[in-house]
Amino acid sequence: MDKKKHGAKTHHTTQKKRHAIQLVWALLTNSYLTGFLYGKIYTGKLKQLCVPGLNCYSCPGALGSCPIGALQAVLGSRNFKFSFYLAGFFLLIGALMGRFVCGFLCPFGLIQELLHKIPFFKKIRYVPGEKVLVKLKYLILLIFVILLPLYAVDILGQGSPWFCKLICPAGTLEGGLPLVFLNEALQNTIGFLYAWKNAILILTILASILIYRPFCKFICPLGAIYSFFNRVAIFRHRVDPKRCTECRLCAHICPMNVNPAKNPNSAECIRCGACIKACPAQALSHTFTKRTEISSHTTSSAPLPPSSNGY
Amino acid sequence: MNRLKEHRTALVLLAVSLVFLLTGTLLRGEHEVVLEKAIRICLECIGIG
């Protein structure tokens, strides 16, 4: 079988397995079915624990807390100006797996990926100014998640969760829409902010059809936090320069526009594993695979055309 | 031994994370702030205000 065809087939199988893991995780962490039936949210003790991905705690099914919402809640409270609990949580998850969370354990990431599967005559592979735009998420983290909850406080000294309030489309989709739909009291209170947040959600949905994971690439403050750990996490990628033929197949197949052969632990890598499966020389691997000796192999040096990357 | 060397930064971060988690929960009770916020419908999060 032709190597490129074989690579594409393996790639799709790998991504299907990943989507299955994403789906199972999303269902497990949002399995409070009563919430969906009666327009309520889970109020048990489990909610003092955070889930690793972006998952609104006001989603009727949510069993855990969103770490970004939790961070804003602690920073915005009168008693704390630093959160050891959330800093410890981010260090723990980040040191274990970095942005693996984005690729496997984030329900909002899955939603964007599924939206991107909707056919459209022209998908946007590279957004103009993408290299600069990917830095936007760090600015959003600093301003909306840290500084505003800390310093834009009311007379009681309490801050608001500004990222959730003004930006987060996950909260609108997972919490706002189902709760307002199911709860008549909430329907009577919606106003400009609800319209604003729905406009952001619609924009995110449309952008996700055209661009692979636009929210993760440019906006997500949680991805920004985990990205700091990609280089040092226990789960990370590695490249064997002796095997790499610089064919650039990995760069062509990467939906996050990373060049894994040059920078296998880029801050943008969400660990989807597409590059590892695509590499015909088996030059890419991760830290949980055993290093093997170079065997005799032939590789194709011709890169795939951009349209054949499967995204 | 090589494995330990390969992951030494991550292991240090994991140790720090455990200290932080214990400080945040046992000494400061931050998890209660999280719980208190998460068990009420977050009106800001859902776009009510």
Determine whether the interchain pair B37/A69 forms a contact, defined as Cβ–Cβ distance below 8 Å.
yes
Looking at residue A1, its pLDDT comes to 47
Residue indicated by tokens 């994971």: A213
**Which chain A residues are within 8 Å of B34, Cβ to Cβ?**
47-48, 50, 65, 70, 73-74, 85
Residue A299 domain-assigned (yes or no)? no
Is A236 part of a structural domain of the chain?
Answer: no
B8 touches chain A (CB under 8 A): no
> What is the model's pLDDT at position A135?
98
Nearest CB to A85 within list B31, B37, B49: B31
Judged by CB atoms closer than 8 Å, whether chains meet at A88 and B39 is answered as no
Contact B25 A85 (CB under 8 A): yes
Neighboring chain A residues of B49 at a CB cutoff of 8 Å? 165, 189, 191, 193
Within 8 A by CB and 6+ apart from A17, the residues are none
pLDDT at B1 over 90: no
Task: Tell me the per-residue pLDDT of B24-43, one tens digit each, with 9 for 90 and over.
Answer: 999 999 999 999 999 999 99
Give the length of chain B: 49
Which regions in chain A score pLDDT beneath 70?
1-10, 291-311
- A65: in domain: yes
Burial (CB count <10 Å: 0-12, 13-18, 19+), residue A44: exposed
Q: What is the pLDDT of residue A78?
A: 92
Whether the CB of B47 is below 8 Å from some CB of chain A: the reply is yes
The reported pLDDT for the residue numbered A209 is 98
Q: What are the residues facing A239 on neighbouring strands?
A: A284
Interface size between A and B, measured as CB pairs under 8 A: 159
Q: A78: nearest CA in chain B?
A: B33
Rounded Cα distance, A214 and A228, in Å: 19
SS3 content of chain B, % helix, strand, coil (to 5): 80, 0, 20
**Radius of gyration (C-alpha) of chain A in whole angstroms:** 21
Give the residue on B whose Cα is nearest the Cα of A188: B48
Torsion (CA) A104, A107, A108, A109 in degrees, nearest 10: 20
- pLDDT of res. A226: 98
Number of domain units in chain A: 1
| B46–A88 C-beta distance less than 8 A | no
Count of structural domains, chain B: 1
Round to whole Å and give the CA distance between A7 and A24.
26
Give the three-class secondary structure for A17. helix
**Mutation target vs B (from A84, A89, A100, A179; most B CBs, 10 A cutoff):** A84
Dihedral sign from CA coordinates of A8, A306, A231, A127: negative
Q: Do B44 and A85 touch (CB under 8 A)?
A: no
| Token digits of residue A100 | 């693996």
- Domain of B27? 2-46
Per-residue pLDDT for B23 more than 60?
A: yes
Question: Which residues, listed in sequence order, are joined to residue A238 by a DSSP beta bridge?
Answer: A285
Q: Which domain holds residue A40?
A: 34-227
The answer to whether A93 touches A78, Cβ cutoff 8 Å, is no
pLDDT tens digits, A36-86: 999 999 999 999 999 999 999 999 999 999 999 999 999 999 999 999 999
What gap in Å lies between CA A180 and CA A199, rounded to an integer? 16
Instruction: Tell me whether residue A19 is in a domain.
Output: no
Residue type, A99: R
Task: Report CB contact under 8 Å: A164, B42.
Answer: yes
Query: B2: distance to nearest CA of chain A, Å?
Result: 12
